[in-house]
Structure 1
Amino acid sequence: MKHRTLRIALDGMGSDDYPYPELHGALAAASEFGYEILITGDKALLAPALKEINSTSNSKISIIHAPEKIESDESPAFSSRKKTQNSIAAGMRLVKDGEADAFVSAGNTGAILANGLITLRRIPYTRRPAIAVLIPVPQGYFILLDVGANSDCKADFLHQFAIMGSLYAHKVLGIRQPKVGLLSNGEEENKGNKLTKEAHALIKNDQNINFIGNVEGKEMFAGKADVVITDGFTGNVSLKITESVAKMVTTLVKDAIKSNIISLIGGILVRKSIENTASTLDPNEHGGAPLLGLNGIVVVGHGRSNSRAIRSAIKVAGKAVKNELLGELETALEQQTKSYS
Structure 2
Amino acid sequence: MRIAIDAMGGDYAPDEIVAGAVEAINQLDKDDELLLVGPQELIQAKLDGLGFKKGPLTVVDAPDVIGMDESPVDSLRSKPKSSIAVMAKLAKHGQADAVISAGNTGACVAAFQMRMRTLPGVNRPGIAVVFPMSAGPVTICDVGANIACKPINLYQYGLMSSVYAKAILGIARPRVGLMSIGQEDAKGNEVVKRTRELLRSDPRMDFIGNIEGRDIFRGVCDVVVCEGFVGNVILKLTEGAVDGLFRAIKQELMQEKARLALKFKPIIMRVYQKHDYNEYGGAPLLGINGTALICHGSSKSRTIRNAVFAAKKCHTQRINDKITECLSEARVRTSDA
- TM category, shorter: over 0.9
Distance in 2 separating the partners of 1:102 and 1:210:
30
Q: Which residue of 1 aligns with 2:60?
A: 64
The structure 2 residue matched to 1:32, chosen from 27, 30, 34, is 27
Distance in 2 separating the partners of 1:140 and 1:74:
37
Distance in 2 separating the partners of 1:225 and 1:31:
37
Matched letter for residue 221 of structure 1: F
Q: Which residue of 2 aligns with 1:274?
A: 268
Task: Decide whether aligned partners of structure 1 residues 49 and 175 sit closer, same or farther in structure 2, where only a CA change above 3 A counts.
Answer: same
The 3-state SS of whatever aligns with 1:149 is coil
Distance in 1 separating the partners of 2:165 and 2:151:
21
The structure 2 residue matched to 1:235, chosen from 221, 228, 231, is 231
Task: Decide whether aligned partners of structure 1 residues 98 and 233 sit closer, same or farther in structure 2, where only a CA change above 3 A counts.
Answer: same
Distance in 1 separating the partners of 2:270 and 2:107:
34
Q: Which residue of 2 aligns with 1:307?
A: 301
* Structure 1 residue 307: Cα displacement: 0.9
1:91-123 CA-to-partner distances (Å, cap 9, x unmatched) read: 121211111111000111011011112211222
Distance in 2 separating the partners of 1:110 and 1:14:
12
Matched letter for residue 189 of structure 1: D
Find out whether 1:216 has 2:212 as its counterpart: yes
- Structure 2, unmatched stretches of 5+, are none
Contact 2:3 2:97 in 1 (8 A): yes
Find out whether 1:53 has 2:50 as its counterpart: yes
1:60-106 CA-to-partner distances (Å, cap 9, x unmatched) read: 11111111110112111011122111111111212111111110001
Q: Which residue of 2 aligns with 1:257?
A: 253
1:203-254 CA-to-partner distances (Å, cap 9, x unmatched) read: 0111221212222211111111111001111111111111111111011111
Alignment RMSD (CA, Å): 1.5
Distance in 2 separating the partners of 1:86 and 1:273:
43
The 3-state SS of whatever aligns with 1:177 is coil
| TM-score normalised over the length of structure 1 | 0.93
Q: Which moved more, 1:161-170 or 1:32-41?
A: 32-41
Q: Which residue of 1 aligns with 2:282?
A: 288
Matched letter for residue 52 of structure 1: G
Q: Which residue of 1 aligns with 2:161?
A: 165
Find out whether 1:148 has 2:144 as its counterpart: yes
| TM-score normalised over the length of structure 2 | 0.94
Q: Which residue of 2 aligns with 1:3?
A: none
The structure 1 residue matched to 2:13, chosen from 18, 31, 37, is 18
Matched letter for residue 51 of structure 2: N
* Structure 1 residue 332: Cα displacement: 2.3
Contact 1:172 1:316 in 2 (8 A): no
1:265-294 CA-to-partner distances (Å, cap 9, x unmatched) read: 322111100111111121101121111112
Distance in 1 separating the partners of 2:265 and 2:230:
35
Contact 2:129 2:139 in 1 (8 A): yes
* Structure 1 residue 338: Cα displacement: 6.3
Q: Which residue of 1 aligns with 2:134?
A: 138
Task: Decide whether aligned partners of structure 1 residues 219 and 55 sit closer, same or farther in structure 2, where only a CA change above 3 A counts.
Answer: closer
The 3-state SS of whatever aligns with 2:293 is strand
Between Structure 1 and Structure 2, how many residues are aligned?
Answer: 333
Distance in 2 separating the partners of 1:139 and 1:188:
24
Contact 2:8 2:65 in 1 (8 A): yes
Contact 1:189 1:197 in 2 (8 A): yes
Find out whether 1:86 has 2:101 as its counterpart: no
Matched letter for residue 56 of structure 1: K
